[in-house]
Amino acid sequence: MTVAVIGGGITGLALAYQLRARGTAAVVLESTSRVGGNVQTHARQGYLLETGPNSFLDREATTRELADALGVSARIRPADAAAKKRYVFTRGALRALPTSPPAFLKSDILPLASRLRVVGELFSGRNPTGSDESLAQLGRRHLGREATAVLLDAMQTGTYAGDPEQLSAEATFPQLVKFEREHRSLILGAIRAQRAARQAKAPGAVEPGPRLSGQMSTFDGGLGVLVDALAKALGDAVRTDAKVEGLERAADGWKVRFTHGGQPQELSASHVVLAVPAHVAAALVRPLDAQLADVADRIPYAPIAVVHLGFAPGSVPKPDGFGFLVPAVERTAMLGTIHVSTTFPFRVEGGRVLLTCLMGGARRPEVVDRDEDALAALAREELKTMTGLTAAPELTQVYRWPRGIPQYTVGHLERVAAMEERLKRWPGLHLTGNAYRGVGVNDCIREASRLAQALGGPAAPATRSA
Ligand SMILES: Cc1cc2nc3c(=O)[nH]c(=O)nc-3n(C[C@H](O)[C@H](O)[C@H](O)COP(=O)(O)OP(=O)(O)OC[C@H]3O[C@@H](n4cnc5c(N)ncnc54)[C@H](O)[C@@H]3O)c2cc1C
Is ligand 1 within 6 A of the CB of residue 277?
yes
If you measure from the C-alpha of residue 63 to the centroid of ligand 1, how many angstroms do you get, rounded to a whole number? 16
- Residues 410 and 287 sit within 8 Å (Cβ to Cβ): no
Q: Is the pLDDT of residue 195 over 80?
A: yes
Nearest to 416 by CA among 436, 391, 444: 436
Mean pLDDT, the chain, as a whole number? Answer: 95
Residue 222 vs residues 225, 228, 433: alpha-carbon distances, Å: 6, 11, 21
Domain boundaries for CATH 3.50.50.60 within the chain: 2-37+224-299+409-456
If you measure from the C-alpha of residue 81 to the centroid of ligand 1, how many angstroms do you get, rounded to a whole number? 29
> What would the pLDDT profile of 5-20 be if each residue is shown by its tens digit?
999 999 999 999 999 9
> What fold does the segment set 300-406 form as a domain?
Polyamine Oxidase; Chain A, domain 2 (3.90.660)
Residue 219 per-residue DSSP state: E
> Per CATH, the architecture of 110-200 is what?
Orthogonal Bundle (1.10)
> What would the pLDDT profile of 99-112 be if each residue is shown by its tens digit?
998 999 999 999 99
Is ligand 1 within 6 A of the CB of residue 244?
yes
Task: Please report the DSSP string for 250-317 in residue order.
Answer: ETTEEEEEEEETTEEEEEEESEEEE-S-HHHHHHHHTTT-HHHHHHHHT--EEEEEEEEEEE-TTSSP
Residue 203: pLDDT band with limits 50, 70, 90: low
Q: Is the pLDDT of residue 57 over 50?
A: yes
Is ligand 1 within 6 A of the CB of residue 55?
yes
Domain boundaries for CATH 3.90.660.20 within the chain: 300-406
Mutational pocket test of ligand 1: of 226, 247, 276, 449, the residue with most ligand atoms within 8 Å of the beta carbon: 276
Is ligand 1 within 6 A of the CB of residue 8?
yes
- The arithmetic mean of pLDDT across residues 351-373, rounded, is 97
What percent of the chain has a predicted confidence (pLDDT) above 70? Answer: 97
Q: What pLDDT, on the 0 to 100 scale, is given for residue 209?
A: 58
Nearest residue by C-alpha to atom 26 in ligand 1: 433
Domain boundaries for CATH 1.10.3110.10 within the chain: 110-200
Residue 95 vs residues 85, 98, 148, 159, 362: alpha-carbon distances, Å: 10, 9, 16, 20, 24
Q: What pLDDT, on the 0 to 100 scale, is given for residue 216?
A: 96
User: 2-37+224-299+409-456 has which CATH code?
Assistant: 3.50.50.60
> What would the pLDDT profile of 306-344 be if each residue is shown by its tens digit?
999 999 999 999 999 999 999 999 999 999 999 999 999
